[in-house]
Structure 1
């Protein structure tokens, strides 16, 4: 008697969106909201810290990069680690790190203590991103996968808006420490999050926990019924070797490199703007409250960019959508340094947020689509980790430019140039993607003759 084989990926791809998907989306988005809050918080308090601790622009830029060094290490560590211990455990560790040490930031007495706490918090901030993206991608139906990942990751911008909004309320009356103490909320919610957040079905299968995997599949697709002797399979690479090398095999080398360049350039723009936009606008003559409102608009625009870009990506072609977004980012950021009416300035900042922070979110969705399940966490972890070099460089570059006292326009034109680099990289990615699809189609067409 033959045993029935079930392709788990096909069951998930073809599932109808239901209550289970809403649950995964909600809890992953909530984690990203806290993640975004903890990350953007530095740009909110930067003008106050520079004054209180007498920091030079270069020192302030370096201090902002400590968290980003931690994020790079966290992405490289927790992406592959989750394939061994499970995404749920990896996410739990990351939440404890980024929430706990952000709270400790509020107790820092000097830049050294502050920087150390930011670095350790950065480990969690960077480690949680590839894992929640991979988890959401794994359970999302194929037809709306980009949209769901984009909606989930727009929580980053909600967290950024929350950080800026609370900063406007708390900074004048309660000091900069108060906005860090708010970051302790996720620790209180962690038991609830971990109760409802599902484990990766791929991890359950690899661990031989078939009964749990079957129950998870029934939640994903209620029409699925487990049968005695049923075999669950998921597409996985059969080739051996280090997971990192798999990112460059089977025609993936060029697209992997281009994705890394796009991540690097995009994250440079994102963290340069999130760290220095309030200070640059403060120097341009705007008060602290107005400067923080620009940060609020930047992250507000990102929500529309992420969700709109995800919708376009599901209906057209996500790499090509990213080419358009990065070109728009270069133009909008380049125009920020020139005198503009208030309505135009706010519009440019919203567009910049939509096409930089929004594009960062779409890049994760693009990577999740590109890499197969077996190497998805590793692929996203390395793309994010390499991209963190751009995130580290962004605040330092902004501090160096500010220290050189260059005209305001030069600051923004330098940031805009990286948008052009990202545009070219994603153009190359889209070209290679199309060439690969054509090659597969040709092999499929010729297959009958080969037989």
Structure 2
């Protein structure tokens, strides 16, 4: 008599998916019931707020300069030309930084540039608050603008590559709206300091007031995830999978397991053809 017992069915292999598939996926609760939307995790909100902070500082510095300029003029004896240089220095730095340095995150990673930009911003803020001559004021304002300009495309990327598609558009716009919040805050801080300290050197304290908030943002940026999109694009797939786990950490855990599609650069079409022939 032959044993007719059928072997247990093989467990199907986990399907590989893209980074955005996991980010956009609607989680399920323990009973298998899907939630009504794709909720943002704590890490996703942290990334968004730290990116929005860069836009906040941009508005803060530009509008604070308008309040500080009369005091600078009195201290350094500025004429019309010098006024123009001070007003344009940070804006020109933002333009140059965005156009020439924005692509660095494609080579060195989103997180590293996210950190370096804030280090440069704080460095030039400190130098500006102790500047002893007019030319240095222009140079340091340009350096601040350079850092903020570099942060401009990086902030857009870190938001776009970590946020669900359904919320991406409005959250990118909301982050950039923080320029206006920064502008109002910068103007208010400038007038408050001028009221409490009616001295020609009060402009230094205006810029120095942004140093501690900048340090807080810098520390926060050390603890965000690297972009899994970027890691996967440069072939660091295991790291990309680990960063997705950190990005999407929630309770209850979802997704339970992560397996990314691997793109074979240069041999993509040949591999695709081989898979077609096998099927």
Which bin holds the TM-score, normalised by the shorter protein? 0.7 to 0.9
Residue in structure 1 matched with residue 242 of structure 2 by the alignment? 215
Instruction: State the match for 1:243 in structure 2.
Output: none
| Equivalence map 1:35-434=2 (5 Å) | 35-172=58-195, 173=197, 175-190=202-217, 192-218=219-245, 219-220=247-248, 223-226=254-257, 230-232=259-261
Aligned mates of 1:154, 1:197 — CA distance in 2:
22
Q: What's the CA shift for 1:191?
A: 5.5
Q: CA deviation at 1:130?
A: 0.9
C-alpha RMSD of matched pairs (Å): 2.7
Distance (Å, rounded) in 2 between the aligned partners of 1:200 and 1:35: 23
CA contact (8 A) 2:248 2:254 kept: no
SS at match of 2:101: helix
Whichever structure has more helix as a proportion of its residues is: 1
The residue number in structure 1 matching 2:48 is 25
Q: How has the CA–CA distance of structure 1 residues 176 and 129 changed in structure 2, closer, same or farther, with 3 Å as cutoff?
A: same
Name the CA distance, whole Å, in 2 between partners of 1:133 and 1:191.
17
Deviations 1:166-215 (A, max 9, x none): 11111241511110111211453255313332211112213433233223
CA distance in 1, matches of 2:194, 2:169: 37
Return the match for 1:8 from 7, 15, 19: 19
Q: Deviations over 1:365-394 (max 9, x none)?
A: xxxxxxxxxxxxxxxxxxxxxxxxxxxxxx
CA contact (8 A) 2:94 2:149 kept: yes
SS in 1 for 2:102: helix
Kept after mapping to 2: 8 A contact 1:214/1:226: no
Give unmatched runs, 5+ long, in structure 1.
239-451
User: Alpha carbons of 1:148 and 1:30: their partners in 2 closer, same or farther (altered >3 Å)?
Assistant: same
For residues 278-328 of structure 1, the C-alpha deviation after alignment (integer angstroms, 9 at most, x for no partner) is: xxxxxxxxxxxxxxxxxxxxxxxxxxxxxxxxxxxxxxxxxxxxxxxxxxx
Residues of 2 paired with 1:167 and 1:191: CA distance?
23
Deviations 1:28-54 (A, max 9, x none): 223332343233321121233334433
Say if 1:45 and 1:176, in contact at 8 Å, map to a contact too: yes
> Retained in 2: the 8 A contact 1:44–1:167?
yes
**Counterpart of 2:209 in 1: which secondary structure?**
helix
Instruction: Count residues in correspondence.
Output: 234
Q: Over residues 331-359 of structure 1, what are the superposed CA-to-partner deviations in whole Å (9 max), with x where a residue is unaligned? A: xxxxxxxxxxxxxxxxxxxxxxxxxxxxx
Q: Please say if residues 34 and 186 of structure 1, whose CA atoms lie closer than 8 Å, have aligned partners that are also in contact.
A: no
Rg bigger for which structure? 2
Q: Which runs of 5+ in 2 are unaligned?
A: 1-11, 27-37, 268-279
Deviation at 1:136, TM superposition (A): 0.5
**Any conservation in 2 of the 1:99–1:186 contact (CA below 8 Å)?**
no
Q: Which residue is 2:273 aligned to? A: none
Separation in 1 of the partners of 2:165 and 2:233?
22
Are the counterparts in 1 of residues 129 and 204 from structure 2 also a CA contact under 8 Å?
Answer: yes
Q: Does the 8 A contact of 1:170 with 1:178 survive in 2? A: yes
Offset at 1:142? 1.6
The corresponding residue for 1:304 is none
